[in-house]
Structure 1
Amino acid sequence: MLNFLKTYQQELLITFIALVLLFIFQSLLKSFTTKAGNKASINIARIHLVMRYINALFIMVAVFIIAMVWGANVNQIVLIFSSVFTVIGIGLFAIWSILSNVTSGVIMFFSFPYKIGDKIKIHDKDFPIEAIIEDIKAFQLHLRTTEGELITYPNNLILQKPVSLVEKDAVMDDGVSNL
């Protein structure tokens, strides 16, 4: 064990420093995301969803850095990452709408002007909707019409259609609509 520590002392030290720095940067980014979400009154579940995306990103970066520190060839690492992302890309191409909705969900986390409880109108010539935002999920919005009908509306479409605010906070604290 001592022989291992002595032989790989530099690699162990660099790995430790890199992981500590990544952890600090990840914590700062999570703190920023939480503050931005709380400032914009975003649902805690959506904040946690974005945190999972941040965790996945930092895990990939950590694996890349550790592989570099321990002597993996850059060409080998690039080949592995590009192969993995190619397979994932081909798989996601078949289900591109899911990726589109997740990406739209992240965009909406930071810039969507409407909140849960707001009554909105989606100006779609084929299927106009006027409803209260009941929940904002990773893939879709849950909208409740005045008739009580639940509509799940894809996140990517909500960013493509004109939307107007009909009434701010249309749902009271006890869950009963002000309509």
Structure 2
Amino acid sequence: MQEFLFSYRHEFVTTAITFGLLLILKFITDKTIRKIGRISDIVEARTLLITKYTTILLTLIGFGVISFIWGVNFREIGLVFSSVFAVIGVALFASWSILSNITAGVILFFSFPFKIGDRVRILDKDIETEDPFLIEDIRAFHVSLRKKNGELLIYPNNLMMQKAVTLIYNSEDALNGSVEA
């Protein structure tokens, strides 16, 4: 056992350093995302969703770095990964809109000028009405919009980025009484 630990001590130390750096990086990104969410007055559920995405990304990067540290023969496992990625690629290509909605959801988190409670009008020829919608919820894949008559529209995130959206009033103005609901 001591011989094993001695012969791989460099890999153990480097792996420990990698874990430490990943934990520090995760802590910093979590703090930054929470601060952006707090400053932008974003709902906590959306902040947690983006935090989960960054955790998954850091975990994948960590696996790659640790594989490199331990000298995994990429040619041998390359066949396995290429087969898995081929299947995943076909599945994702068949449902590309899922990826675009998730990506749009992340972008909307950091740069969406509208919040839950705002009234907006979407300039889309497929939406038959020009009545404003109340933003009820913003999820990873879609935005929940409600008309005054109670009708609920589930609108994909990627279309929120592609179509023109007009802000009728924001929730802060309605709370201050400067704009009528």
TM range (shorter): 0.7 to 0.9
| Offset from partner CA, 1:84-136 (integer Å, 9 cap, x none) | 43332211111111111111100100000000000000011231452100000
Q: How does 1:98-109 map to 2 (within 5 A)?
A: 98-109=98-109
Select between 114-123 and 90-99 the one with higher mean Cα deviation: 90-99
Q: Give the corresponding residue for 1:132.
A: 134
SS in 2 for 1:15: helix
Deviation at 1:31, TM superposition (A): 1.2
Aligned length, in residue pairs: 175
Q: Compute the displacement of 1:10 (Å).
A: 1.2
1:11-31 Cα shifts (integer Å, max 9, x gaps): 111100011011111211121
Question: Structure 1: any 5+ residue segments left out of the alignment?
Answer: none
Task: Give the Cα–Cα distance (whole angstroms) in 2 for the partners of residues 7 and 26 of structure 1.
Answer: 31
2:170 alignment counterpart: 168
Aligned residue for 2:98, secondary structure, equals: helix
* Matching residue of 1:110: 110
Partner SS state of residue 153, structure 1: strand
Q: Are the counterparts in 2 of residues 119 and 165 from structure 1 also a CA contact under 8 Å?
A: yes
Aligned residue identity for 2:144? H
1:143 matched to 2:171? The reply is no
Structure-2-length-normalised TM-score = 0.87
Q: CA RMSD in A?
A: 2.1
Contact 1:46–1:137 under 8 Å retained in 2: yes
State the 1:71 CA deviation: 1.6
Instruction: Tell me which residue corresponds to 1:53.
Output: 53
> In structure 2, what is the Cα distance between the partners aligned to 1:9 and 1:24?
23
The AA in structure 1 aligned to 2:133 is: A
Task: Compute the TM-score of the two structures, normalised by the length of structure 1.
Answer: 0.88
Q: Does 1:5 align with 2:5?
A: yes
User: Contact (CA 8 Å) 1:133, 1:141: kept in 2 or not?
Assistant: yes
**CA deviation map 1:27-55 (0-9, x unaligned):** 11121111111111111111111111111
Which sections of structure 2, spanning at least 5 residues, go unmatched? none
Q: Matches of residues 70-85 of structure 1 in structure 2 within 5 Å?
A: 70-76=70-76, 81-85=81-85
SS of 1:91's partner is helix
8 A contact 1:131–1:143 mirrored in 2 = yes
Q: Which amino acid aligns with 2:58?
A: F
Q: Are 2:29 and 1:34 aligned?
A: no
Identical amino acids, percent of aligned pairs: 45
